[in-house]
Amino acid sequence: MRLITVQGEGRITQSPDTIELNVELVTLNKDYEKMMEGAINKLNLLYYHLTNLGFDKNDIQTSDFIINAKYESVRDNNGNYKNEFVGYEARQNIVLEFPLNTAFLAEIIDAITRSVIKPNISIAYTIQDKQSLINDLLESAVQDAINKANILANASGVKLGEVQTIEYKRQDYRIYSDTKLAPTAMYSMEKIDIVPKDIELTEYVIMSFEII
């Protein structure tokens, strides 16, 4: 059987429609029970602020909850360094997604950063329906391979037969805009309508067709 093998390239560009807010709560205490109590209080206070802004508690998801014993390197009286126990540290990462709205984002940032929580915050722009975007990307790659195979077959004076093989290496897509936004900038940006950079994705497939 004679074959023709081509690589299809799919490209897709999509404007972000969703804000992903990551809130990291850090609690440190030498007493384990007090550390846990503080971590729970911070989480409850975060829930309080976010539900007051209209979020359902089920929308406020925990992606990580890690507890470690923390040590620091200190110098003793003889000038030697040793590890000294600082306390138990809990790190909770909360993920919240909502439709792209800069004014609402500024309101959220203001509510949680001016409280006693003092969290670490990161902001990203993404797509709500990620699976549909990936499906469109794969269809684009396959269609490109078919078009290339047809062009090559016509130029060679042969006909394209059925697809024999498809090679596709699944990848973890980074479906985020390259736009960076510092939470501290939000205090003076309530009236600025930010337009984040489009998300661009590329995918490849290798397809073999019978030629007749």
Q: Each residue of 15-58: pLDDT tens digit? A: 999 999 999 999 999 999 999 999 999 999 999 999 999 998 88
Tokens encoding 160 = 């394209």
Residue 4's pLDDT is 93
Residue 192 pLDDT greater than 80, yes or no: no
The proportion of the chain whose per-residue pLDDT surpasses 90, expressed as a percent, equals 62
CATH architecture of residue range(s) 18-126: 2-Layer Sandwich (3.30)
Distance CA 101, CA 33 (A): 39
pLDDT in tens, 2-15: 899 999 999 999 99
Q: Which residues contact 166 (CB under 8 A, 6 or more apart)?
A: 142, 205, 206, 207, 208
> Exposed, middle or buried, 89 (CB in 10 Å: 0-12/13-18/19+)?
middle
Instruction: From residue 44, give the alpha-carbon distance in Å to each of 101, 108, 174.
Output: 25, 16, 31
User: According to CATH, what is the number of the domain 3-15+130-211?
Assistant: 3.30.110.170
Which residue has better confidence, 184 or 35? 35
Higher per-residue confidence, 193 vs 102: 102
Give the relative orientation of helices 32-52 and 102-113 as an angle to the nearest 10 degrees.
150
Structure tokens belonging to residue 134: 């990936």
Does residue 190 have a pLDDT over 70? Answer: no
> What is the side-by-side order of every strand in the sheet holding 3-14?
3-14, 199-211, 160-167
pLDDT for 191 equals 56
Report residue 184's pLDDT band, with 50, 70 and 90 as the boundaries.
Answer: low
Domain range summary for the chain, segments of one domain joined by +: 3-15+130-211, 18-126
Please write the tens of the pLDDT for every residue from 94-139. 999 999 998 888 888 888 877 767 788 899 999 999 999 999 999 9
Q: What are the distances in angstroms from CA 39 to CA 46, 59, 96, 132? A: 11, 19, 18, 37
Of residues 190 and 207, more confidently modeled:
207
Instruction: Please report where in the chains the tokens 């384990």 appear, as a residue.
Output: 32
Which tokens hold the place of 88?
Answer: 């138990």
